[in-house]
Chain A
């Protein structure tokens, strides 16, 4: 599998993704500068977390208009898998590869902590190494992770099985979505990550790359990258 990680000015989770990919791939991913209009031929594109363009105007808004993103969108439309993590998820909604938008956390605080996620869609190239309804522990670190979409879109996402991960308690139980409970940011229907209708684009607010090594306190994130290597060769 060949992979590329997009680097914008202000991205700061690109290297953690590089480490996680290197660990699972046994090879180096390409670090692709946002100004390069053409990506090399790859099997996976990762849009990492961070503060691209300082979150100015709206998180991910200007990164979505970067030269490289036109090629990411074109490749995604041809079926090349794309994984967007945190700021990357924001970029993917801004450029229209995923529906909805990420808004200011309902509690108006930057939230930096481990959360539990229920794996709602385990049959994808991203989640193939997880089991359906498996509860995993993954960290979040964001100010604008409140997933919003109108009711029709939310119903469609639910109906088509495009909700990939949902915030839940450690025991897998969900609460009513109020802040201070299992839902850390007020996201509609406790949604932590969603898939495109082609199931080849995944956007998620939590950072699987940050818990991919027991030395860092957890390993639940590793299966995402191992799963991708298994699915994409």
Chain B
């Protein structure tokens, strides 16, 4: 199975990198961008073929390593290989 993990900063945590991107976009003439937040996408290839088990496995990976749950939220998508 393939898993895609989206890791984003929690609401309320300041994102200076997102802010820098927002300013750069404004500098390039793109109008109307009222907020930018930058996150990560982590793609995993798993041997597990049961989607429920794969989901649980990836959730455990997120809690343990892929996301710092003090400052980050995560979202897991599971798909067939």
Contact = CB atoms under 8 A, between A and B. Distances in A.
Contacts of B57: none
Nearest to B20: A108
A148 B71 CA distance: 8
Contacts of A94: 68
B51 to A, nearest CB: 25
A36 to B, nearest CB: 21
Given A62-B65, A65-B64, A65-B65, A108 B71 contact: no
B66 interface: yes
A61 B66 CA distance: 8
Contacts of A58: 68
Contacts, number: 35
Contacts of A169: none
Contacts of B71: 101, 103, 148
A30 B14 CA distance: 40
A128 interface: no
A103 B70 CA distance: 11
Contacts of B66: 57
Given A101-B70, A148-B71, A106 B65 contact: no
A102 to B, nearest CB: 10
B13 interface: yes
B16 A104 contact: yes
Interface string B1-29: 00000000000111011001000000000
Contacts of A104: 16-17
B25 to A, nearest CB: 16
B20 A106 contact: no
A145 interface: no
Interface in A22-79: 57-58, 61-62, 65
Contacts of B13: 103, 148
Contacts of B65: 57, 61-62, 65
A100 interface: yes
A93 interface: yes
Nearest to B17: A104
Contact of A108 (B12, B17, B70): B17
A176 B8 CA distance: 28
Contacts of B68: 58, 61, 94, 101
A186 interface: yes
Interface in B24-81: 64-66, 68, 70-71
B14 A106 contact: yes
A140 to B, nearest CB: 17
Among A57, A94, A186, max chain B CB count under 10 A is at A57
Contacts of A150: 12
Interface of B: 12-14, 16-17, 20, 64-66, 68, 70-71
8 contacts: A61-B68, A65-B64, A93-B70, A103-B13, A106-B16, A148-B13, A148-B71, A186-B16
